[in-house]
């Protein structure tokens, strides 16, 4: 009985830690719009917006980029999914004084993605 209680407690603790995910405060994101585009295949369409993104570490904490993701937002706080990204922005460790740069493409089924103006980094990746 005690073993099952310990397992249940650890499982619940794991869920509560996952619910407390937040935006990392030790990474600066600099994003510049590069282009807007679209793709169509038969009846399916997708609209895209491309940003050149630079990530810089602000503190001495270690930053594992594989545990973070980029998200784009419009002024009305609509979130857009990341479609394509350079590996430099999503793998390895971000080192102090050595920013990384790459391209991030966000997409949507409608042209609302064209309003995306802000790129953030998050540890809430799905």
- Measured between alpha carbons, how far is residue 54 from residues 26, 34, 85, 89 in Å? 14, 13, 12, 8
Q: How large is the greatest C-alpha to C-alpha distance in the chain, in angstroms?
A: 60
Instruction: Count CA within 13 A, CB hemisphere, residue 53.
Output: 29
Q: What is the pLDDT along the chain (126 residues), one digit of tens a residue?
A: 444 443 433 344 443 333 333 567 889 999 999 999 999 999 999 999 999 999 999 887 779 999 999 999 999 999 998 999 999 999 999 988 889 999 999 999 999 999 999 999 999 987
Q: Tell whether 79 is covered by a domain.
A: yes
β partners of residue 73: 79, 118
The single residue listed with the structure tokens 């930053």 is: 63
Q: Tell whether 8 is covered by a domain.
A: no
The tally of domains found in the chain comes to 1
Q: Tell whether 13 is covered by a domain.
A: no
Find the domain containing 29 and state its range.
22-122
Name the token pair of 78: 């609509």
- Measured between alpha carbons, how far is residue 23 from residues 53, 68, 70, 84 in Å? 17, 9, 10, 21
The confidence score (pLDDT) of residue 101 equals 97
Do 88 and 101 contact (CB within 8 A), yes or no? yes
Return the DSSP state at 109.
Answer: S
Q: Tell whether 59 is covered by a domain.
A: yes
Q: CATH code at 40?
A: 2.60.40.4110
Global pTM?
0.78
């Amino acid at each position: 009985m005690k073993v099952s209680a310990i397992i249940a407690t650890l499982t619940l603790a794991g869920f509560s830690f996952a619910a407390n995910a937040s935006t990392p405060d030790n990474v600066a994101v600099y994003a510049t719009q590069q282009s807007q585009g679209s793709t169509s295949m038969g009846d399916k369409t997708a609209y895209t917006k491309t940003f050149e993104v630079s990530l810089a570490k602000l503190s001495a904490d270690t930053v594992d980029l594989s545990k973070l993701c980029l998200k784009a937002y419009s002024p009305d706080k609509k979130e857009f999914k990341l479609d394509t990204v350079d590996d430099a922005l999503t793998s390895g460790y971000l080192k102090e004084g050595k920013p990384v740069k790459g391209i991030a493409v966000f997409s949507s089924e409608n042209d609302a993605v064209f309003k995306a103006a802000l790129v953030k980094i998050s540890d809430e990746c799905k």
